[in-house]
Amino acid sequence: MNRTSDILVIDDEQVIIDAVIKICSLDNYSVDTALDVKTATEKITKNYYPIIICDIMMPDGSGFQILEEIRRKNLRSSLIMTTGYSTVENAVNSLYKGAIDFIPKPFTVDELLSSVYRANNYQRIKEKQKQLYLQKLNDEVLYVPCPSKYLRLGYSTWIFQEREGSVLIGVCDLFMKTLEATQEIEFQDTEDEIAQGISCASLKCSNDRNHKILSPISGRIVEVNEKIKKYPSLIEKDPYFEGWIYRVIPANLDYEIKYLISCSSDRL
C-alpha cells in the first residue's frame, strides 16, 4: 500500500477541504481529499494515510462508515472525526468507536493543528510499537497503559470510581506521550459543571500549542488536584495516581459509562 499523502480529508464541502489543505500546509503535511464516502473508501483501500480527517454527515453515508471500514480492514490509519452536527453524542460515540479525536465545527487553525499534531505523534508511537513487536522487543515500554480498574474515553482521559461515589479524572499516558512537555495547565474551578465529550481543561505545551482535554464524564467538580497545580509535570510523571486532575460527583454515570472503554480490555 502506497503512502501518497500524510492526511486524507473527507468532507462534502469544498471550502472546508480547501481550508484544511491550507492549514495543514502550515505544518508541511501533504493532503489528499475525498468529497464523499464512496471515493474515500476507495482511497483508503488503495493508499495508506496515517491521518484521516472525516466529516460525519455526508450525502452518501456517514463518517462512522469510514471508521467501520478502518476497523474491518484492520488499517493503521488514525481518524479525527469532525462535524457541524456537533452533539455530545456524536463526539463520545466516535471516540468509543475508535476515532482518536473529535473536533466540532467550526474549528480554528490552532484547534485543528494541535489535533493533527497529536494524531501524528500517536501514529508515530503506534508505528514504533509495531516495529518493537516485530523485533520481539516487547519489554521496552513506550507508554504506560491505564490500570485495569480504570475506564477511559478514547485513548485520552480516564476515570476511576472511588468508593464514596466520587470519581477521579485524569489524562492517559499515551495522550501525554503525544504532546511536548507540559508547561501549564488551565483548570476549571471547583463547583463548575463539566460534560462528557466537552473540553474540561487545557494543556499548554513547550512548543506553544494548546491541547484541550475532553472530559470522560459529566458531573460537578468538587476538588482540583492542588499538587498538579503546583507541579504541572506531575501529570506526565504519574498520570494515573498522583497526577489526577479533578475529583467529580458524576451526574449520569450509569448512562455515560457505556461510552467508556474498560482499561482491562486489550482494545487500543
Q: What are the residues binding another protein (CB under 8 A)?
A: 13, 15-16, 19-20, 22-23, 26, 57, 83-89, 104-110, 112, 218, 251-256
Compute the radius of gyration of the chain from its Cα atoms: 18
What does residue 169 show for φ and ψ, rounded to 5 degrees?
A: -120, 140
CB of 108 to another protein, least distance (A): 4
Of 20 and 146, which CB lies nearer to another protein in the complex structure? 20
Helix axes 14-26, 109-134, angle to 10 degrees: 70
For another protein, which is the closer residue by CB, 24 or 66?
24
In whole angstroms, give the CA distance from residue 206 to residue 184: 9
Question: Please, what is the minimum distance in Å from the beta carbon of residue 252 to another protein?
Answer: 4
- Residue 105 CB, shortest distance to another protein, in Å, is 4
Which residues is 2 bridged to in the sheet? 47
22 vs 130, beta carbon nearer another protein = 22
Of 230 and 258, the one with the shorter C-beta distance to another protein is 258
Nearer to another protein, 19 or 144 (CB): 19
Q: Rounded to an integer, what is the distance from CA 129 to the centroid of its chain? A: 18
Smallest distance from another protein to CB 224, Å? 22
**Contact (CB, 8 A) for 177 and 141:** no
Q: CB of residue 135 vs another protein: minimum separation in angstroms?
A: 41
Taking the complex as a whole, how short is the minimal distance between the CB of residue 83 and another protein, in angstroms? 8
CA-nearest of 158, 172, 175 to 239 is 172
Q: Give the nearer residue to another protein in terms of CB position, either 87 or 131.
A: 87
CB of 111 to another protein, least distance (A): 9
Q: At what angle do helices 63-72 and 37-46 cross, to 10 degrees?
A: 20
- Looking only at the bridges linking them, the beta strands covering 7-10 and 31-34 are parallel
Distance between CA 245 and CA 137 in Å, rounded? 33
- Cβ proximity to another protein: between 12 and 180 the closer is 12
- Distance, CA of 7 to CA of 9 (rounded, Å): 6
